[in-house]
Structure 1
Amino acid sequence: MERKRGVFHETTVESVISQQRNFHTSTFAGSKRSYSETTNSHHAEPNKQLHFQRASSIGRVPPRLTASDIISLDAASVALPSEYSQRKVISATPTSIVDRSLSLSFSRYGLPAPLVDNLNAHGIKEIYPWQKQCLLGPGLLDGTKNLVYSAPTGGGKSLVADILMLKRILEDRNAKALLILPYVALVQEKVRWLRNIVQDIKRKPLETDECDGKVQLWQKRPDEDNIRVVGFFGGGKIRATWSDFDIGVCTFEKANMLINTTIDDCSITNLRTVVLDELHMVDDDHRGYLMELIATKLMSLEHSVQIIGMSATLALQNIEVLSTWLDAHMYRTFYRPIPVEEHLVHEGKIYPASSTRSILKTASQLQQTSSSTLKLDSQPVRTIQASQHKEFQDPVLNAVVALANETVRSGYGVLIFCSSRQGCESDARLISRVLPQANEIDPTIIEKRSDLLGDLRSLSMDLDLNLAESIPAGVAFHHAGMTTEERDLISTAYDSGVLKVIVATCSLAAGINLPARRVILHNARMGRDLIGPSMLRQMRGRAGRKGKDEIGETYLCCRKCDLEDVVELMHADLPQVSSGLTTDKHRIQRALLEVVSIRLVNSRASINDYIRKTLLNLSSTSDLIRDHVESSLQDLLKMGFIQCDDFDSYVATQLGKAVVASSLEPEDGAFVHREMQRALQAFVMDGEMHILYTFTPVQELFASINWQIFRSEMEALDDSGLRVMMFLGLNPAVVNRMAQGGTLKESNPAEKEIARVYRRFYLALQLRDLCNEISIHAVARKYDMPRGTVQTLEQTCQGFAAGMIKFCEQMGWGAMAAILDHFSDRLKAGAKADLLALAKVTFIKSRTARVFYDNGFKTVASLANADPKELLPILMQAQPTKLRVKSKDEQKYEEKLLAKAQVIADSANRLWQAEMRQDLDEE
């Protein structure tokens, strides 16, 4: 739906408009602060106490606050047309009337008419001049040359890669393409987009065979001519194959696994194009090296694969390095269809900062001893008045709330980036107290916000009380402590205009595409650390929404003590990318183990040739690389992952292949192998703890242990659980000592390994509860963890379990693989074995499945034959305890549950029919 339009652009520079519209501004209480001048008690309280306080005030409306006014200091600007209105009059972008090559139907592009029509239907009727120049680069349209390019966020960079990728797929019906993205949310979003773009487009018809003068068509599936777009992410037990898709959209991990599999079984020959999005992440210390492994393996193949790498945050020197590495054509543009105005906010004053140079100049002048020495061009254009409210005494908080309030009252959306989860929630509550209330808002919007609350309430968890307070005013927060379902509902509501403000941690900047008219950074820190140049550009890049905003605006609210650091940050160039294989995490070991295992290399000469194709070869000296390779090969031989014969040929052992198949790091694979060997000798089978421990992730993802809770859970273990502890080498006395304030020693490899076992067992306790129909929010409350963190643990364990199943299958441990497979199903369902069939039905999981089972719906068939109205009272019973609501809201709530009941019945019907067809086939 369209947003309410206004003349918001004038409010940013003209006090007269502010007076006409009575814009009030106040700041947010958001970021977690470690600064001495911070006195807001909301930030100092732990989340548990804050939640308790909010719960105790149910029924009481918090007192209204007033945002501070923002006053223009440039009186002359009132008489002049604003820059934004000039941009509306003067078009900077040629159209296809002037330049026919900007039309998607231009013959040089060779795009089929159905694809052009689909793009037109989605608002893409022509391309920008920079996109034309990029596409017409040497060897790109025919797929013979790789490409590395950079364009600002919102500048249309994805369309270039989409066109090149779709062109390959449509020209060759056997061609496959991979689009690789860093985050699951981006994968899901891209899958939806591509499916819409390729809808109803048919590929070239199948070839025919001439036989005895007759033309015979190959037998084909009904969807054989369609372009199949499939997303690959998270855990999955099914081995992906090329036959499942034409375009695969993958996370880094899934793409690497898929490429390994298809090189090993020789089906990689159909791969024509690979798109690496967010290419700047290649030197991310956590996951970026996977991009390097993927690209290097592709360049080592016998057939040519077009590699397309793109990013919004690549400096010129980085584009040059990466294009040299990939032997690619390079292109760079600074074009944005929506201009972005940048500002620095300091001590309640707003300074223009349209470039890093002007920010440096402004900030350096701010540090002078006397403000009278400031030059005219560095004077503030506006000032934010001090607030009389005690909640807004912090000038940074006051500025954030004031700027957010101004945006919303002009009818636009705003994103605020905060340094902590608690800060997000606190800011959202305070902003909601200054925004227009129900009697000032369109009743239709009020109704939609009420519907959003109903959707959140209908999830299988308690409605967050902070969201219940802020959403009626059009404000919500977004962070990793929330569940995926909560974040999806909030993102959708913001994107449609139902919500006007989202306060987010930095994860939103990179993880999902939600542009805003105005982006506000609640200081330049995320947590305790200063954000980096790349993250700063990611967050600022969310400003401006093509088709809805004439401009975008960013405001970096800077603390006095951070001014010097902010100056350096804003002036800093993007860091130079380097290979992730040089870190101390022995990643060359994984690179070498993978290529030996999939038989891409088998000799020292071929290994050297492979290494020469890595980014590492451009960022390290040959002597250092040679030492790394030699030591890594020796380590792999010592761990038993590879063998070397008399002819100096390398081959992966069964264990080495199992490590690669399960996508484990070599060090983690060695740990898992040691654990599994011990388990196979004396597996504790009279309980669940040993099995659950086995597929608890070994990665250091969730390392924090509440030892008091650990001790309490340990004391409640049955004999089987205690035997598992003893078998794993865990000492109850150590747990007791830690619960009393002790420290877990990790000074040597043996101590580090036993510490890892303690952490895994603590997580296994949580998995035990999740597998036994305890909801995510109940587990989160029990272990004093954010429910989003518990959900992430659950999802990560599903992926790790899938890897462990492959590990066991590769090692020939079929019985162990079957046991893990069963418990993987239970973890996914959040239920015991008797509910696994019901848990396949949409919306039926965990506690909901148990409630249906106890009410007589024990099979899929019983649900399939039920009237949705019969299911409504059971769904009501399955919901967690809710706050009391007005009868009107309760009616809407029941309507939503009835719609959910209809989905359940339909899903059960499809499953039941599939079961009946299978039974008939087996007869």
Structure 2
Amino acid sequence: MKLRCTEWQHTCLTLSCVQERKNLIYSLPTSGGKTLVAEILMLQELLCRRKDVLMILPYVAIVQEKISGLSSFGIELGFFVEEYAGSKGKFPPTKRREKKSIYIATIEKAHSLVNSLIETGRISSLGLVVVDELHMIGEGSRGAILEMTLAKILYTSKTTQIIGMSATLNNVQDLQEFLQAEYYSNQFRPVELKEYLKINHTIYAVDSKAESGMTFSRLLHYKYSDSLKKMDPDHLVALVTEVIPNYSCLVFCPSKKNCENVAEMLCKFLKKEYLKHKEKEKCELINNLRSISGGHLCPVLKRTVPFGVAYHHSGLTSEERKLLEEAYSTGVLCLFACTSTLATGINLPARRVILRAPYVAKEFLKRSQYKQMIGRAGRAGIDTIGESILILQEKDKQKVLELISRPPENCYSHLVQEFNKGIQTLFLSLIGLKIATNLGDIYRFMNGTFFGVQQKILLKEKSLWKITVESLRYLTEKGLLQKCPNPESEEELHCNFHITKLGKASFKGTIDLAYCDILYRDLKKGLEGLVLENLLHLIYLTTPYDLVSQCDPDWMIYFRQISQLSPAEQNVASLLGVSESYIAKKASGQATRKKVDKDTVNRLYLSFVLHALLKETNVWNVSEKFNLPRGSIQNLLTAAASFSSSVLHFCEELEEFWVYRALLVELTKKLTYCVKAELIPLMEVTGVLEGRAKQLYSTGYRSLMHLANADPDVLIKTIDHLSRRQARQIVSSAKMLLQEKAEALQEEVEELLRVPTDVPSAKA
């Protein structure tokens, strides 16, 4: 295997700090080849230094894509690739004596993984940690979790190297100080990117040397009928038809609905010749979309796919998204109307990127968002140039000119802003893991965080010391910590803290501290009359609290559902205090005198959605029944699977909840896969979703062993619409999983047969 490095990649890999295993932050434009450097360093760590590796990625979809890509390397080179996303991942990870592992994890799962390694004294087994999209450390609660993870690694392991990469970094000095890292940047881009702005009929080139920041480029010449002028005031038809169908195009839209509207509008005015381009492949794609959805097909996609156009946003199911992305990558689809999430998601570049407006929803674009979107323009090895066109109104001209000329936004810690998910969660885990157990040590730890580095900028009213004292007092009052005087010192500074059982359960389950006492109360109340004749009661207890406030029930649908409940299901609603008469009054618009907890009502409604999904396993049917976007339902299912796993870990720490443990193991599995039991072994394989699992099962591939021993060439012939790359990835992932299971069993056997040194032998 030969790897060709560009000059900057060679320079980066041979930096003295990399050779000396110091921490490194490096920054390049999108498509500059950052990932290859990280992958070379990871392989070096696994194969040469014989240490485990953790790679932290922002989204589940990217984790799964990376696992698919690296599994074949693992099979060939003898290491494991393990998934830590959603409800997947073992804590602590399997301890291996021979082969090493690369853990591919989301931000949240990486934090739990690091906690488990610290708790079991195995953090030094982690030789390298790679963080993609490092700038996300400055983004809300997820940024706070990423900061906690890195701070703990820095504090507990002096041998673990940290590599952070990003396309958009500004205040790098703060990050360098926090990570004790060197910094390398380069402006290399394999394909030249030309930036343009469009105002009315005029296109301007972005030009930093010009006084106004832009220079005239050309006028748009396109014959517009009156109806087209009305339907397409931004001249999108003119802009995209300069590129498609021979080249690809991404149109970023401010909202999900706008994506669908734009895709449909474009197809109304595209010429009939577009239908003939890759006609056979597009027919196959439509058939495949229908088959993976149990005969359903989105009416918008039905109209747009024949023209090579589709929309791409979170309203799609993961199966649809995977099929559409594959079709776009192979040129079957030439245009995506998409939301900004695609910019930070999987690698889908285009010849031309069009920004429909300088807004994401109603918020004006950030510089980092703009750079990530336009960074998708230009496909290395395919295009010689990439173009971006930002469409704007005259009223936004000044703000846009400032946007394109300023540096990326500064990155600020969210550890204290995110009170429950940040500093308090951190303190609870520090004490639970015995990293720091008194006020002085915790304060010292805090000074070493990203927040500690920025405290002079971020703290206006309170000092870090005062915030530390207040947070520990809050955790003690909440019953999560206990204060224990130190016999050796009467000073408050040296007073030790111990974690309570409830605190340990909350920390082990990674339960948001805003909800830990509510969860405890709900589980305790559930013990008084847990309904086990069906899954509804258990589903209610594992429906995520943070989604309840966003829920807006359709009362007519709610009434229809509650009136169709079986007696056992009615018993659940009754135990929760939600009556049919109350919902009937809400549905008819009548005033309700009876006080019912709004969160309980909303949570039960979401439980109905999940319960229907587990019974039917068809997202489309449930989407129709509840009038909810199918993608939103799938996202609810993913969140519920993850929360169910968290509740299971919570219950494992509290003896009184022993009855929930076996029940939650099964429920978590059901929520994770949401398919008939026989398909679950196939769906453990990365990249195999329900539609693909059904295809495989019906053609005789019914177990992990069958898949691991499959010939990719035979798979392609047997399974409809399966590409060679997908077939290889499926076989590699199956082999990897099978090897993992076999090795784990072997380790278990050897552990059982190992004779303790202090036990005399039979002969003696």
Please indicate the TM-score interval, normalised by the length of the shorter structure. 0.7 to 0.9
Q: Deviations over 1:239-287 (max 9, x none)?
A: 3515375211110011111111111011112111111110111111141
The question of 1:640 aligning with 2:479 is answered: yes
DSSP 3-state at the match of 2:118: helix
- Percent of pairs identical after alignment? 29
Match of 1:80 in 2: none
Q: Is the 8 A contact 1:775 1:846 kept in 2?
A: no
Match of 2:19 in 1: 141
Higher radius of gyration, 1 or 2: 1
Change (3 A) 1:193 1:836: closer
The CA deviation at 1:696 is 0.9
- Stretch moving more, 704-713 or 660-669: 704-713
Q: Is the 8 A contact 1:252 1:291 kept in 2?
A: yes
Change (3 A) 1:624 1:736: farther
Match of 2:543 in 1: 696
Change (3 A) 1:827 1:387: same
1:631 is aligned, of 450, 455, 470, to 470
Match of 1:568 in 2: 402
The CA deviation at 1:513 is 0.9
Match of 2:626 in 1: 783
Q: Is the 8 A contact 1:839 1:846 kept in 2?
A: no
Q: 1:173-184 to 2 correspondence within 5 Å?
A: 173=50, 175-184=51-60
Q: Is the 8 A contact 1:413 1:518 kept in 2?
A: yes
The question of 1:402 aligning with 2:230 is answered: no
Cα distance in 2 between the residues matched to 1:294 and 1:384? 54
Change (3 A) 1:595 1:686: same
The question of 1:722 aligning with 2:570 is answered: yes
Change (3 A) 1:830 1:273: closer
Change (3 A) 1:823 1:195: closer
Cα distance in 2 between the residues matched to 1:156 and 1:848? 34
Match of 1:330 in 2: 183
Cα distance in 2 between the residues matched to 1:722 and 1:359? 71
- Stretch moving more, 654-663 or 287-296: 654-663
The CA deviation at 1:438 is 5.2
Q: 1:879-894 to 2 correspondence within 5 Å?
A: none
Q: 1:105-254 to 2 correspondence within 5 Å?
A: 117=1, 120=2, 124-128=3-7, 130-143=8-21, 145-173=22-50, 175-197=51-73, 200-201=76-77, 226-236=78-88, 238-243=90-95, 246-254=101-109
Q: Is the 8 A contact 1:348 1:385 kept in 2?
A: no
* Contiguous gaps of at least 5 residues in structure 2: 487-494, 707-716, 750-764
The CA deviation at 1:386 is 6.0
The question of 1:382 aligning with 2:237 is answered: no
DSSP 3-state at the match of 2:95: helix
Change (3 A) 1:344 1:658: same
The question of 1:711 aligning with 2:559 is answered: yes
Q: 1:324-363 to 2 correspondence within 5 Å?
A: 324-355=177-208, 358=210, 360-362=212-214
Q: 1:355-374 to 2 correspondence within 5 Å?
A: 355=208, 358=210, 360-362=212-214
Cα distance in 2 between the residues matched to 1:396 and 1:612? 54
The CA deviation at 1:510 is 0.8
1:414 is aligned, of 237, 240, 249, to 249
The CA deviation at 1:735 is 3.6
The question of 1:472 aligning with 2:472 is answered: no
Change (3 A) 1:778 1:291: same
TM normalised by structure 2 equals: 0.84
Match of 1:35 in 2: none
Match of 1:456 in 2: 289
The CA deviation at 1:414 is 0.6
DSSP 3-state at the match of 1:140: helix
2:263 is aligned, of 410, 425, 428, to 428
Match of 2:387 in 1: 553
DSSP 3-state at the match of 1:393: helix
The question of 1:276 aligning with 2:131 is answered: yes
What letter is aligned with 2:355? L
Q: Is the 8 A contact 2:206 2:213 kept in 1?
A: no
DSSP 3-state at the match of 2:621: helix
DSSP 3-state at the match of 1:620: helix
Q: Deviations over 1:99-123 (max 9, x none)?
A: xxxxxxxxxxxxxxxxxx2xx3xxx
Q: Is the 8 A contact 2:344 2:372 kept in 1?
A: yes
Change (3 A) 1:667 1:540: same
Q: 1:840-855 to 2 correspondence within 5 Å?
A: 840-841=681-682
The CA deviation at 1:440 is 7.6
Cα distance in 1 between the residues matched to 2:643 and 2:210? 49
Q: Is the 8 A contact 2:350 2:386 kept in 1?
A: yes
Cα distance in 2 between the residues matched to 1:759 and 1:254? 28
Cα distance in 2 between the residues matched to 1:564 and 1:438? 40
Q: Deviations over 1:382-408 (max 9, x none)?
A: 32446214144266432x221111101
Change (3 A) 1:695 1:743: farther
1:447 is aligned, of 280, 287, 298, to 280
Q: What is the alpha-carbon root mean square deviation over aligned residues?
A: 3.5
DSSP 3-state at the match of 2:388: strand
Change (3 A) 1:428 1:846: closer
Cα distance in 2 between the residues matched to 1:706 and 1:359? 55
1:262 is aligned, of 113, 117, 133, to 117
Match of 2:712 in 1: none
Q: Is the 8 A contact 2:31 2:375 kept in 1?
A: yes
Cα distance in 2 between the residues matched to 1:583 and 1:351? 41
What letter is aligned with 1:633? L
Change (3 A) 1:845 1:425: closer
The question of 1:772 aligning with 2:650 is answered: no
The question of 1:816 aligning with 2:660 is answered: yes
Change (3 A) 1:782 1:278: same
Match of 1:488 in 2: 322
Q: Is the 8 A contact 1:256 1:293 kept in 2?
A: yes
Cα distance in 1 between the residues matched to 2:533 and 2:47? 56
What letter is aligned with 2:44? K
Cα distance in 1 between the residues matched to 2:36 and 2:89? 33
1:801 is aligned, of 619, 635, 644, to 644
Q: Is the 8 A contact 1:773 1:847 kept in 2?
A: no
Match of 2:752 in 1: none
What letter is aligned with 1:188? Q
DSSP 3-state at the match of 2:46: helix
What letter is aligned with 2:442? I
What letter is aligned with 1:330? Y
Q: Is the 8 A contact 1:744 1:755 kept in 2?
A: no
What letter is aligned with 2:60? V
Q: Is the 8 A contact 2:87 2:668 kept in 1?
A: no
Match of 1:307 in 2: 162
2:444 is aligned, of 590, 609, 614, to 609
TM normalised by structure 1 equals: 0.70
